[in-house]
Amino acid sequence: MSFSIAGKTAIVTGAANGCGLAIGRHFLREGANVVFADMDEAALEREMGERAAEEEAARIFAGDLRERLTIANLLSLTVDAFERVDILVNASRQMIPGDPLDPENDQVETLLQQNLLTSLRLSQATAKRMIKQADDDGDHSIGSIINLSSIAARRTHPELLAYSVSSAALDQMTRSLAVALAPRRIRVNAVAFGSVMSASLKGALKDNSDYRSEILDNTPLNRIAAPSEVSDAVQYLASDSSSFVTGQIITVDGGRTLIDPVTAAPAH
């Protein structure tokens, strides 16, 4: 079975750091053309600016994708550079902990805008481009959209209310768009992951020595995922090997969602 994405063109958002950056770099190694998109221009330049200047298969795009004009500009840059877009990876995510009982807390609105609506609008615009560039009426897939979600959609952490709600909404958006775009031969899936060794998690582990033990105790495989393990799952969904897969939420969490974190009551 081949997971080849060689020669395909991908847009990866949230690509200045974390899983987005790891996925973009992974796609480049696998022979894809990649547009690295992020709001943080300085981080994009630091991580990918030199490579984008030297490598024909890489481009960077800095802008606020909450703005519709920015979405249009991103697609224009992609098509100008590579003539088409075959894969969209919505990897831009934000997590803000907070008090769920604070009436002044507007984090749900903020994260629905960032984690859901931005991905929805970019997916809609990208799907239109995929449909426009399709050159036949066959039955093969003409494009793949992959959303990065979280197991927080199925777990209950009150301080992560906004993140959990936006993740659950993203999962449902994935399913709904999958059905809506299936007649146009565009597949829509998501990868929901648990703890991945990103720069932010490394910082959290450094600041809290007990946090690592807590994660491992609640993960049956007893380790933290490498970013490449998320990239591999995303590549599968982007490749033709998943041509009959749509509307699915693939979980990459080491078994974390399989166990009940609440300690059982002692027997009487």
Question: How many domains, in total, are found in the chain?
Answer: 1
> Which of 22, 21, 18, 15 shows the shortest CA–CA distance to 74?
15
Helix (H) or strand (E) holding 205: helix 199-207
263 in any annotated domain: no
β-sheet with 9-13: strand ranges across: 58-62, 33-38, 9-13, 87-90, 143-150, 186-193, 249-252
Q: What is the rounded CA–CA span in Å between residue 205 and residue 100?
A: 24
**Which residue type occupies 107?**
Q
DSSP-assigned states of every residue in 14-27 = STTSHHHHHHHHHH
172 in any annotated domain: yes
Predicted local confidence at residue 261, as pLDDT: 61
Q: What is the mean pLDDT of each run of 10 residues along the chain (268 residues)?
A: 91 95 97 97 96 94 97 98 98 84 84 96 98 85 96 87 94 98 97 85 79 88 91 97 97 89 46
Predicted local confidence at residue 268, as pLDDT: 39
Q: Which residue has the tokens 């146009």?
A: 184
* 164 φ/ψ angles, rounded to the nearest 5 degrees: -65, -45
Give the structural domain span for 82: 9-254
**What is the three-state SS of 210-247?**
HHHHHHHHCCCCCCCECHHHHHHHHHHHHCHHHCCCCC
192-215 exposure pattern, b = at least 16 Cβ within 10 A, e = fewer: bbbbbbbeebeeebeeeeeeeeeb
Predicted local confidence at residue 48, as pLDDT: 96
Residue 184 contacts by C-beta under 8 Å, 6 or more apart in sequence? 127, 130, 131, 142
52 in any annotated domain: yes
Predicted local confidence at residue 210, as pLDDT: 84
* 204 φ/ψ angles, rounded to the nearest 5 degrees: -65, -40
Extended beta strands in 15-150, E state: 33-38, 58-62, 87-90, 143-150
Helix (H, G, I), strand (E, B) or coil at 11: strand
CATH number at residue 239: 3.40.50.720
Distances from the Cα of 12 to the Cαs of 59, 89, 245, in angstroms? 11, 5, 20
Helix (H, G, I), strand (E, B) or coil at 253: coil
Q: How many helices (DSSP H) and strands (DSSP E) are in the chain?
A: 10, 7
1 in any annotated domain: no
